[in-house]
Structure 1
Amino acid sequence: MATKKKSTITAAPKAGGSMMPWLGIAFIVVLLDQVTKITITRLFQLGDTKPLTGFFNLTLAYNRGAAFSFLSNQGGWQRYLFTAIALAAVAFIIYLLRRNAGQRMFCWALALIMGGAIGNLVDRLMHGHVIDFLDFYWRGLGHFPAFNVADSAITIGAILFIVDELRRVNKH
């Protein structure tokens, strides 16, 4: 009579869940970001503006710098700096997602930030600049710097990260 051997293969421990949902969220952010940028660049020329409300325009702008056009007037070296920062951030976020995949709000924050970073990284690699098109302003106070879907995801992710951290601190 043959005896069956029990399998000795064990799964690697998961850190509370799979990374796949978080990578999926990041992918959706990148997809939405790139589709909106492709659409705006096909409908607008650089500098074109279409008012939609009394506080919001669509406008095509190029940002060679970082947030709020930081370092945008430099000689071009900033493209490589911000590309390197984005690549390092994505690598670190993947590491954090692997270790903390079960922490929902933390991973939502990371996935949104990663998707936004990749969306703007694609622009830098393909065009040498980031494509911005969302232009908010308020009477007499001027225009907020134009931004895009990737920037919005990064901002929402940062807010979620802060909220998650405050909740964690308040528990202890």
Structure 2
Amino acid sequence: MRLVWIWAAVIFVLDQVSKIWVVHVLDLATRLNIDVFPPYLNFRMAWNYGINFGLLAGEAAATRWILISVAVGIVLFVLVWMRRDPPGRPGLISAGLLIGGALGNVVDRLVYGAVADFLNMSCCGINNPFAFNVADIAIFAGALGLVLFPGGKKGS
């Protein structure tokens, strides 16, 4: 479990520091667009009130608290899973990625009322209109890792 907490803390801090730096220090919240290495990497401010790609993006307070509750529920589920049936090292790291990312987005919802998304990447003639953040990357990688390295009984 120590490995889970270490990776969760690393991702959480990386996510929050990146958001503070880009949204506030670089003032993306006001500027809205910063071309970093176009078209491959740009900063595009997007306040996500829903889940991935803006699904369930009602700005109602109830939606905000439901999404916070779901994220906390997922974190608790993964923690119980890791305690009851701990996977190997890749699975524990994956759990940490997912937990750190989920908690990073929960903090955004608590502080801003929405998740601060700012990374935008396009390539090869495909113009990606969506933005995401470090937490989103970690959640995706962590969920994929838990599918690939779910644990199970030792000795097989």
TM-score range, shorter chain: 0.7 to 0.9
Paired AA for residue 96 in structure 2? A
Alignment of structure 1 residues 62-101 onto 2, 5 Å: 62-101=47-86
Paired AA for residue 83 in structure 1? I
CA distance in 1, matches of 2:141, 2:40: 21
Q: Indicate how the Cα distance of structure 1 residues 164 and 77 shifts in structure 2: closer, same or farther if over 3 A, else same.
A: same
Paired AA for residue 78 in structure 1? T
The structure 1 segments of at least 4 consecutive aligned residues displaced by more than 6 Å after TM superposition are: none
Higher CA-based Rg? 1
User: Is 1:134 equivalent to 2:116 in the alignment?
Assistant: no
1:46–1:61 Cα contact (<8 Å) kept: no
2:98–2:139 Cα contact (<8 Å) kept: yes
CA distance in 1, matches of 2:56, 2:141: 23
Q: Give TM-score scaled by structure 2 length.
A: 0.85
1:48–1:59 Cα contact (<8 Å) kept: yes
* 1:45 equivalent in structure 2: 29
* 2:17 equivalent in structure 1: 35
Aligned residue pairs total 151
Q: Which runs of 5+ in 2 are unaligned?
A: none
Paired AA for residue 29 in structure 1? I
- Of structures 1 and 2, the one scoring higher in RCO (CA 8 A, sep 6+) is 2
Alignment of structure 1 residues 19-30 onto 2, 5 Å: 19-30=1-12
Q: Give TM-score scaled by structure 1 length.
A: 0.78
Q: Which runs of 5+ in 1 are unaligned?
A: 1-18
